[in-house]
Amino acid sequence: MIGGGTLQGSLIGIWSRDDGEKNEIYVFRADGRVELKDYIALDGGVVDRNAPFPQTRERNFAGTYSLVVDVLTIGFTTAVSNDPDDIISPPTRDKVVSIGIRGRTLTLNEPRRQAAVHPPRLTP
């Protein structure tokens, strides 16, 4: 994770979520671009992010984000999948959440639930 000092600076970088409910990677760039990689094990088992389709379906979304105080708005403009039969399109509505960062944990406070997103553990 790069940045720091401000919430905006701390948000820049790669954030990984793997909590049993979802398996995702968010990439926030300093220029306002965002990418989301969403992984699904089609057999219902453990997700292997490095496995190709049909073991793991990977959906990639790209777009832009803005952060005003602690309110994060994400709008995706493109969506692709490694599954040739998976017909997806970007969400028609922006995702709007309040966020907080404590240590190495990014928390997205959605209207009805709370989900924690953690950066990957880096090894030297």
pLDDT tens, the chain, 124 aa long? 344 578 989 999 999 988 877 899 999 999 999 999 999 999 989 999 999 999 999 999 999 999 999 999 999 999 999 999 999 999 999 999 999 888 888 888 876 555 556 554 333 2
**What type of residue sits at position 94?**
D
> What is the DSSP secondary structure assignment for residue 88, as one 8-state letter?
-
- CA 36/CA 29 separation, integer angstroms: 12
Length of the chain: 124
**Radius of gyration of the chain from Cα atoms?**
15
- CA 67/CA 54 separation, integer angstroms: 36
Provide CATH code, domain 7-117.
2.40.128
